[in-house]
Amino acid sequence: MSGKGLFITFEGIDGSGKSTQARLLADHLTAQGRDVVLTREPGGSPGAEEIRALVLQGDPDRWSAQTEILLFTAARRDHMERTILPALEAGKVVICDRFADSTRMYQGLSRGDLRGDVDALHARMIGVEPDLTLLIDMDPTQGLSRALSRQTKEERFEEFGEALQAAMRAGFLALAEEFAARFRVIDGARAIDDVARDVQAIVQKRLAA
Ligand code: ADP
Ligand code: TYD
């Protein structure tokens, strides 16, 4: 499905350490001489970065969950066409900070059960799943305090608060069971280097397979 390359995604609640670990993994694989594309969602292509500003800034109730499903999927479609698929076709390792599992969780669970709509649109418009998904799991209180200490303008979801983050954590763990073949769960409540060592070991095994 994903051509000759390897498509790796990081998932988890806000502040769990995804961006940090995605960057460290990209550095590690690059040092081994691999061709790596490090990217993120929402975003990862010029058009999708414009949509990112629309969905992450402003009031928490700026968009309904249904509108968000469309916006995040539109961003993903552009990101996939312009960044992800060309890189995979060229045999590169694509490391993406969040992907469709985030839509399954944030839009699918946060304001009622819209998982069916998320999955239907995904099947129709995206139709690609990662080869490997690394879920950085951690306690939401710790994650949120890390995330809010960053002080960015992109706080629409962080402002939904701790109860939502707790639901997201449980949802991600359930998703890891649902898609057990591609998910690996990593304990994120440890030192950055310890988490990175686990990430590298899992990816190395997958690259050798
Ligand atoms: P995410 O992308 O999941 O939101 P980040 O990688 O941006 O998380 O990390 C959020 C904050 O926590 C950053 O300031 C980062 O430096 C810090 N951080 C990341 N991993 C750890 C860790 N294992 N221990 C302590 N702080 C961490
Ligand atoms: P991100 O920049 O990864 O935030 P963080 O570093 O805090 O984890 O993602 C921004 C927010 O966008 C995050 O709160 C989750 C949300 N999001 C969705 O709601 N749906 C999606 O499909 C994606 C990709 C992200």
Spatial distance between the Cα atoms of 208 and 193, rounded to a whole number of angstroms: 22
Name the stretches of the chain with pLDDT < 50. 1-2
The answer to whether the CB of 122 falls within 8 A of the CB of 100 is: yes
Ligand 2 atom closest to residue 147's alpha carbon, by position in its atom list: 7
Q: How far is the CA of 101 from the centre of ligand 2 (A)?
A: 10
The pLDDT assigned to 2 comes to 46
Ligand 1 mean position, distance from CA 143 (Å): 8
> Which pLDDT score is estimated for 52?
96
| Pairing assessment for the beta strands 36-40 and 132-137 based on DSSP bridges | unpaired
pLDDT given for residue 1 in this prediction = 42
For residue 42, whether the previous peptide bond is cis, meaning omega lies within 30 degrees of 0, is: yes
First to last CA, the chain: 17
Say which ligand is closest to the CA of 122. 2
pTM: 0.95
Which neighbouring-strand residues pair with 9? 96, 133
The answer to whether the CB of 19 is under 6 A from ligand 2 is: yes
* pLDDT (tens digit per residue) in 61-115: 899 999 999 999 999 999 999 999 999 999 999 999 999 999 999 999 988 899 9
> Residue 13 Cα, ligand 1 centroid: separation in angstroms?
11
- 103 within ligand 2 shell (Cβ under 6 A): yes
Residues in Cβ contact with 3 at an 8 Å cutoff, skipping those fewer than 6 apart: 85, 88, 89, 91
Q: Hey, whose CA ends up nearest to atom 20 of ligand 1?
A: 17
Are residues 22 and 95 in contact, defined by beta-carbon separation less than 8 angstroms? yes
What gap in Å lies between CA 20 and CA 37, rounded to an integer?
A: 15
Two tokens, residue 76: 């993903």
SS3 54: helix
